[in-house]
Amino acid sequence: MQDFISTRDLSAASIYNILETAEAMRFKQNFIQGGKFAANLFFEPSTRTKTSFQVAEQNLGINALDFHLEGSSVVKGESLYDTARTYEAIGADLLVVRHACDHWHDQLVGRISTPIINAGAGKGEHPTQSMLDLLTIYQEFGSFENLNIAIAGDIKHSRVARSNAYALTTLGANVCFAAAPGFEDESWDIPYVSIDEACDSCDVVMLLRIQHERHASVPYQTRTYLTDYGLTIDRERRMQNHAIVLHPAPVNRGVEMDTRLVECDRSRIFKQMENGVYTRMAIITILLNQWGGNHENFTEKCQ
Ligand code: CP
């Protein structure tokens, strides 16, 4: 693998390799040799993804080159390509990029020889988020085959929905969407269900926030949205005993889910964030071709 841009063309074997490597990363520190540098080029805001890449790089022994948009030459008009090419010329061994364009990677892939990781592309894809979501599901259920997974929220504007729909379908899960009118993405051949049906029948309910930054205006009031399309206390009580709740965060508390459910027993939201560090360590290690360890029996370790 040269770059990590999309889950669309990842085989099941490649995904399992990432998940197994991520699980092994709990017990690994400082094993990337040669004084490598990673440039974290975040052109859009981030708390979790940026910080967990920084921690992942530090855990691996890689030097993180920080990049502050407002203090960079982007404010003088420098392009994404010239910024990335500059970091490559100065010595970055890895580029981690988040940008508001859905297809920013078209400007870099094939033109930059340094490995590139997509840390979020507009409303296109967020493949490292998908891998940490998959790791959290796999730790819980040990398999994806025939697992019923609902992705509920602003599907149309969600890069998380897109990356997870590709990967979960590849792994044999039964994926459905739940969305308020106007938030559907009809380009998918994935069934839509109501939020009630999703909560009553699914093993995993993955909630998404309304992507306000990608809307001119949102046609829903907060309370109405929660009652009609969100995870209320009543819907959570009707979920199956074993069912779990995921959310990529940040959570708009009281909008897509009742604030009391953010840390309820079924919530794995903070577990997802922890898994983000191991997953990003794994992806970096695989891209830099530095994984030489044998995988333990992953399924056994998760139980
Ligand atoms: N889930 C996620 O991408 O969060 P951040 O925007 O805080 O990185």
Give the model confidence (pLDDT) of 203-231 as tens digits.
999 999 998 888 877 778 777 999 999 99
pLDDT of residue 292: 54
171 and 111 share one domain: no
pLDDT of residue 151: 98
Assess whether pLDDT exceeds 80 at residue 301: no
67 and 29 share one domain: yes
Q: For 274-281, what is the mean pLDDT? A: 98
Residue among 41, 129, 211, 214 to mutate when testing ligand 1 (max atoms within 8 A of CB) = 129
Q: Which residue has the tokens 């080159």?
A: 65
pLDDT of residue 298: 41
Which amino acid is it at 30?
A: N
Assess whether pLDDT exceeds 50 at residue 295: no
70 and 45 share one domain: yes
* Residue 1 is assigned to a structural domain of this protein: no
Q: Residue 294 — very low, low, confident or very high, per pLDDT cuts 50/70/90?
A: very low
Q: For 238-263, what is the mean pLDDT? A: 97
Give the model confidence (pLDDT) of 18-33 as tens digits.
999 999 998 877 778 7
Give the tokens for residue 34. 């040669």
CA neighbours closer than 13 Å in the CB half-sphere of residue 92: 26
113 and 137 share one domain: no
Q: For 132-140, what is the mean pLDDT? A: 98
* Residue 173 is assigned to a structural domain of this protein: yes
Q: Which residues line ligand 1 (CB under 6 A)?
A: 46-49, 120, 129, 248-250
In percent, the amount of the chain with pLDDT more than 70 equals 95
pTM over 0.80: yes
Strands (E) located in the chain: 37-42, 63-65, 94-99, 116-121, 148-152, 174-178, 204-207, 244-246
pLDDT of residue 220: 82
Give the model confidence (pLDDT) of 74-107 as tens digits.
999 999 999 999 999 999 999 999 999 999 999 9
Assess whether pLDDT exceeds 80 at residue 131: yes
Q: From ligand 1's centre to the CA of 248, what distance in Å?
A: 7
**Does residue 98 have a known ligand-binding role?**
yes
* Cα torsion 117, 119, 122, 125: sign: positive
239 and 214 share one domain: yes
**Does residue 209 have a known ligand-binding role?**
yes
62 and 149 share one domain: no
**Does residue 76 have a known ligand-binding role?**
yes
* Cα torsion 96, 98, 99, 104: sign: positive
Q: How far apart are the first and last CA of the chain?
A: 30
Question: Residue 244 forms beta bridges with which residues?
Answer: 204
Nearest CA to ligand 1 atom 1: 248
* Residue 302 is assigned to a structural domain of this protein: no
Using CA atoms, how far apart are residues 188 and 175, in angstroms rounded to an integer?
Answer: 11
pLDDT of residue 30: 75
Q: Which of 125, 149, 183, 180 is nearest to 4 (CA)?
A: 125
* Residue 54 is assigned to a structural domain of this protein: yes
236 and 132 share one domain: yes
Residue among 47, 96, 207 to mutate when testing ligand 1 (max atoms within 8 A of CB) = 47
* Residue 223 is assigned to a structural domain of this protein: yes
Residues in the chain: 303
Which phi and psi (to 5°) does residue 90 adopt?
A: -75, -20
Q: Residue 291 — very low, low, confident or very high, per pLDDT cuts 50/70/90?
A: low
Using CA atoms, how far apart are residues 215 and 223, in angstroms rounded to an integer?
Answer: 19
Please enumerate in sequence order all residues whose Cβ is within 8 A of that of 89, keeping only pairs 6 or more positions apart, or say none: none
58 and 169 share one domain: no
pLDDT of residue 219: 76
Q: From ligand 1's centre to the CA of 255, what distance in Å?
A: 18
In percent, the amount of the chain with pLDDT more than 90 equals 86
**Angle at alpha carbon of residue 259, lines to 254 and 263, rounded to 5°:** 150
**Does residue 48 have a known ligand-binding role?**
yes
The interface predicted TM-score of the complex, written ipTM, equals 0.99
Using CA atoms, how far apart are residues 40 and 226, in angstroms rounded to an integer?
Answer: 35
135 and 259 share one domain: yes
Domain that holds residue 280: 12-126+276-296
* Residue 72 is assigned to a structural domain of this protein: yes
167 and 177 share one domain: yes
132 and 261 share one domain: yes
169 and 92 share one domain: no
Assess whether pLDDT exceeds 70 at residue 297: no
Please enumerate in sequence order all residues whose Cβ is within 8 A of that of 92, keeping only pairs 6 or more positions apart, or say none: 37, 38, 39, 65, 114
pLDDT of residue 226: 96
Q: How many domains, in total, are found in the chain?
A: 2
| CATH number, domain with residue 255 | 3.40.50.1370
Q: For 183-189, what is the mean pLDDT? A: 94
* Residue 5 is assigned to a structural domain of this protein: no
- The greatest distance separating any two alpha carbons of the chain, rounded to the nearest whole angstrom, comes to 56
Taking CB atoms within 8 Å and a gap of at least 24, the contacts of 97-103 are 97/41, 97/42, 97/43, 98/41, 98/42, 98/43, 98/44, 98/46, 98/49, 98/50, 99/41, 99/43, 99/44, 100/43, 100/44, 102/159
Q: For 46-72, what is the mean pLDDT? A: 95
* Residue 84 is assigned to a structural domain of this protein: yes
Using CA atoms, how far apart are residues 215 and 124, in angstroms rounded to an integer?
Answer: 15
Q: Residue 296 — very low, low, confident or very high, per pLDDT cuts 50/70/90?
A: very low
